[in-house]
Copies of this chain bind each other. A is one copy, B any other.
């Protein structure tokens, strides 16, 4: 019998991968406008206070709050408007007792003033405004450094940049930002049974549509990488060897599908010095890794599980990404059982706080992936979860 002599426990194998993969040192400086979804290569420290000065948060009148304390609707306080400025201008006037300066949202607070009253809240007649209610000191003022202080670390290395992060970068003066180079991920598909162009006759005669490459390219893009497709390679020792060697020379990571088991035609694992081959995961047990090469299954569902359980984490390590998974807690709608000794990857549909396990089994069943939007993991020492138990779902 030729079988895996030993299945490496899931986590042990994952640790081997993460120890072997080093964070890329290559950094690219890209315009902030092109940095969406990229991974920050260094902490960002603000070079300025933002806002750089106390400013008005509304369109209205800057005044001394103390002046308004006696104001009542039946006995308004009157203030004289000594200046009016428009957005982006600065008043030269000083707000002395009994006076006010008209300004706009974002205007710098004039000297002497410590609060702003919204223009809708006053009655104006000529150069005089009437204030009907007291205004608290600081009201409607955005203070200098209130958003970000000079020298403050505002974004951390490893952050995946979102629209609001780009806005912050721009607001504190960054025109470009240092992000990690996208790892190049070579994809090699092996298998004489695969066809790339649809041909119903060939399918009926035993061929199979190749669909792992398009799935892996999408997954690699989702997790920070740039896929490089090396095509479908026939089950030929020389062809597979040279494809792997070429890909390894050109890429940071290589994924080979279809050569993971011990079939007579499974050559891929012979050319790579593997740290492990065969782990406790299910599906996807025959996964192997060594020398920046993952040996993966031919079946789409197994490939998908191997990607999420191993490759995704390797990609995150390569770019140093934090918070790259969306994990949610959910109530399991029905029992799932698992074999002791297996680390199971269970597809679920998550909705309204509940996770419904997808019952379709079989690692060729792509529709089971399509009908799911996340997965739960059941470690080796568990026989599964009961209906109603709280589980952690990773969304995809």
Which residues of A are in contact with B by a Cβ distance under 8 Å?
1-3, 32-33, 36, 48, 50-53, 55, 57, 59, 86-90, 104-108, 119-123, 142, 146-148, 154-155, 162-168, 170-175, 191-194, 197-198, 200, 203-212, 214-219, 221-222, 235, 261-265, 298-300, 304, 323, 326-330, 352-353, 362-367, 369-370, 373, 390, 395-396
List of B residues within 8 angstroms of A175 by Cβ: 197-198
5 nearest CB pairs, A to B? A163-B218, A88-B193, A87-B193, A173-B198, A164-B369
List of B residues within 8 angstroms of A147 by Cβ: 362, 364-367
If A106-B298, A328-B353 touch, whether A163 touches B207 (CB-CB below 8 Å) is no
List of B residues within 8 angstroms of A2 by Cβ: 119-120
A sample of 4 more A-B contacts (CB under 8 A), given A59-B263, A166-B218, A168-B370, is A59-B262, A105-B263, A172-B209, A328-B353
**How far is A94 from B93 in the complex, measured between Cα atoms in Å?**
101
Quick one: closest B residue to A197, CB to CB?
A: B175
**How far is A5 from B188 in the complex, measured between Cα atoms in Å?**
65
Cβ-neighbour of A107 out of B107, B163, B171, B206 (below 8 A) = B206
Cβ-neighbour of A86 out of B214, B235, B370 (below 8 A) = B235
Q: How far is the CB of A171 from chain B (nearest CB, A)?
A: 4
Do residues A164 and B106 form an inter-chain contact, with CB atoms below 8 A? no
Cβ-neighbour of A168 out of B142, B208, B211, B265 (below 8 A) = B211
If A87-B193, A89-B206, A235-B86 touch, whether A214 touches B52 (CB-CB below 8 Å) is no
If A59-B261, A87-B193 touch, whether A3 touches B120 (CB-CB below 8 Å) is yes
Q: How far is the CB of A197 from chain B (nearest CB, A)?
A: 8
**How far is A350 from B216 in the complex, measured between Cα atoms in Å?**
29
Do residues B206 and A55 form an inter-chain contact, with CB atoms below 8 A? yes
Quick one: closest B residue to A229, CB to CB?
A: B33
**How far is A328 from B328 in the complex, measured between Cα atoms in Å?**
7
Q: How far is the CB of A10 from chain B (nearest CB, A)?
A: 21
**How far is A51 from B219 in the complex, measured between Cα atoms in Å?**
23
Do residues A208 and B88 form an inter-chain contact, with CB atoms below 8 A? yes
List of B residues within 8 angstroms of A366 by Cβ: 50, 147-148, 164, 167-168, 171
Q: How far is the CB of A290 from chain B (nearest CB, A)?
A: 22
Quick one: closest B residue to A107, CB to CB?
A: B206
**How far is A373 from B146 in the complex, measured between Cα atoms in Å?**
20
Quick one: closest B residue to A52, CB to CB?
A: B203
Do residues B211 and A33 form an inter-chain contact, with CB atoms below 8 A? no
Do residues B167 and A52 form an inter-chain contact, with CB atoms below 8 A? no
Q: How far is the CB of A193 from chain B (nearest CB, A)?
A: 3
Cβ-neighbour of A262 out of B3, B120, B146, B198 (below 8 A) = B120
Do residues A204 and B106 form an inter-chain contact, with CB atoms below 8 A? no
List of B residues within 8 angstroms of A155 by Cβ: 370
Quick one: closest B residue to A149, CB to CB?
A: B367
**How far is A135 from B120 in the complex, measured between Cα atoms in Å?**
83
**How far is A142 from B329 in the complex, measured between Cα atoms in Å?**
33
Do residues B104 and A210 form an inter-chain contact, with CB atoms below 8 A? no
**How far is A68 from B205 in the complex, measured between Cα atoms in Å?**
28
Do residues A222 and B192 form an inter-chain contact, with CB atoms below 8 A? no
If A106-B193, A120-B262 touch, whether A363 touches B57 (CB-CB below 8 Å) is yes
Quick one: closest B residue to A32, CB to CB?
A: B214
If A104-B263, A163-B219 touch, whether A214 touches B33 (CB-CB below 8 Å) is yes
**How far is A8 from B52 in the complex, measured between Cα atoms in Å?**
35
Cβ-neighbour of A265 out of B55, B104, B163, B218 (below 8 A) = B104
List of B residues within 8 angstroms of A87 by Cβ: 191-193, 235, 265
List of B residues within 8 angstroms of A204 by Cβ: 52-53
Do residues A164 and B353 form an inter-chain contact, with CB atoms below 8 A? no
**How far is A52 from B212 in the complex, measured between Cα atoms in Å?**
18
